[in-house]
Structure 1
Amino acid sequence: MAGEPLNVLFLCPNNACRSIIAEALLNRVGRGHFRAFSAGQKPSGQINPYVRETLKHVGYDLSGQIPKSWDVFVSHSAPRLDAVITLAESMKAAKLPIWYSNPVLVHWDFANPELVEGEDSVRIGAFRRCYGDMEQQMLKVAGIYADGLRGEALAVKLRAIAPQTHQTR
C-alpha cells in the first residue's frame, strides 16, 4: 500500500456543511497523498448555500456535488477507507456503520456555523471562520508523512493533531 493515498471520510450529521468543507480542503492541500470524501448520517437535500458561497469565494467548484449518506461507503465496491473522522459533537455517540476496510475512527469537534443566527454578514463570517479553522487543520493533516501509514499508527497521528474544541462564536 506504500505510495497509495490515504482515504479519509469526513462525517457530519447532514453532509451539508463541515464535512463538505473538510473534503474540499483536504483534496486540495493533500497533494495526492490524501483522498477525501464526505458523508452524513441523514443527508440533507442540498449543500448549505453559505458553504457553497464560501468555497466558491476561494476557488472551489461544487457543481454536481450533493450531500451523501454514509451508506454509500459501506458496500464492498466503495473506496477503501483508512480513516473516518467525525466533525460534530453529536457524532461521538452515533452508531456508525461497519466499513469493510476497517478504518480508524477519530473525532474532531468543529463548531457548526449553521447554528449562528443574525444578519447575513454575521452568518457569512461564521462560515468563513469555520473554513479558516478547517484550513489550518487540513494543513496539519497534509503535513503528516503518510506513506504506508495505516491502522493505529495513523490514528495516533490524527489524534495528536486534533483541534482544540471550538465553541460557536
Structure 2
Amino acid sequence: MTRDRPYNVLFLCTGNSARSIMGEAIINRIGAGKFNGYSAGSMPKGEVHPLAINLLNKLNYDTGALRSKSWEEFTAAGAPELDFVFTVCDNAANEVCPIWPGQPMTAHWGLPDPAEAQGDEAQRALAFADTYRMLNNRIGIFASLPLASLDELSLQNRLNDIGRLKASAVPERA
C-alpha cells in the first residue's frame, strides 16, 4: 500500500456522538500527516456528546470541527476516498453498510458505549475516559503498523486482531 497521500480512515458508530468522534480526533492527532480521520453514524444524533467534548478539550484536542454526521456524506460525490473503515459499536457492525467508493479495508473494533454509562457525572466521565484509553491504544497500534510492507491479507488479519483486543489486554501507550 504505497501512497502519495495520507490514508483516509472512517470511524463508524450508530449515533456518531462519542466513540467514533473520539476515534476521528485520536487518529488525526496520532497519525498527523499519515492519516486523515473522519467519523460518521448510520443514525447520527446530530450533536457530539458533551462528555466526549469535555474529555477531548481537557486532553487539548481541537474540537471545533467535530460534528455528528451521517455516513451518507462519505458515499456522495466529492467525498474522500476511504482506505479504512472501522466500526466501533456492535450496532453499526451489524448494519448493512453503504458501498464505500474505493473498497476500503474494514474491521470491527467494538467498544462499550460510554453514553450509556450510569451513575453520577464522575462515573460517567470515567466511562468516557476508559473508552478514550481503549481507542487511543488501538489506534496507536494501527498507526504504527508498517502499512507499506504488509500484504492485504496480513493487514486485514492485523486489523481484525486489534479489534479483538480485550480492554485489559490493550497495552498502555506512552
Instruction: For 2:40 and 2:34, locate their aligned partners in 1 and report how far apart those are by CA, in whole Å.
Output: 20
Counterpart residue number, 2:165? 164
Change (3 A) 1:34 1:51: same
Instruction: For 1:29 and 1:107, locate their aligned partners in 2 and report how far apart those are by CA, in whole Å.
Output: 20
Please give the secondary structure, in 2, of the residue aligned with 1:66. Answer: coil
5 Å-filtered alignment, 1:133-152, equals 133-147=134-148, 151-152=152-153
Counterpart residue number, 2:6? 5
Gaps of 5+ in 2: 168-174
Counterpart residue number, 1:88? 89
Provide the aligned length of Structure 1 versus Structure 2. Answer: 167
Check whether the contact 1:88–1:109 (CA below 8 A) recurs between aligned residues. Answer: yes
Greater relative contact order (CA < 8 Å, ≥ 6 in sequence): 1
Counterpart residue number, 2:76? 75
Higher helix share: 2
Counterpart residue number, 2:155? 154
Shift, 1:101, TM fit: 1.2
Change (3 A) 1:27 1:114: same
Instruction: For 1:34 and 1:149, locate their aligned partners in 2 and report how far apart those are by CA, in whole Å.
Output: 17
Q: Deviations over 1:97-134 (max 9, x none)?
A: 01121112211111111111111111111111111111
Code of the aligned partner of 1:8: V
Check whether the contact 1:8–1:82 (CA below 8 A) recurs between aligned residues. Answer: yes
Instruction: For 1:73 and 1:115, locate their aligned partners in 2 and report how far apart those are by CA, in whole Å.
Output: 27
Gaps of 5+ in 1: none
Task: Kindly report the root-mean-square deviation, in angstroms, between the aligned alpha carbons of the 2 structures.
Answer: 1.9
Instruction: For 2:134 and 2:59, locate their aligned partners in 1 and report how far apart those are by CA, in whole Å.
Output: 14
Shift, 1:20, TM fit: 0.4
Shift, 1:148, TM fit: 7.2
Q: TM-score, normalised by structure 2?
A: 0.88
Q: Percent of aligned positions with the same letter in both sequences? A: 33
5 Å-filtered alignment, 1:11-26, equals 11-26=12-27
Counterpart residue number, 2:35? 34
Deviates more, 1:30-39 or 1:48-57: 30-39
Is it true that 1:125 corresponds to 2:121 in the alignment? Answer: no
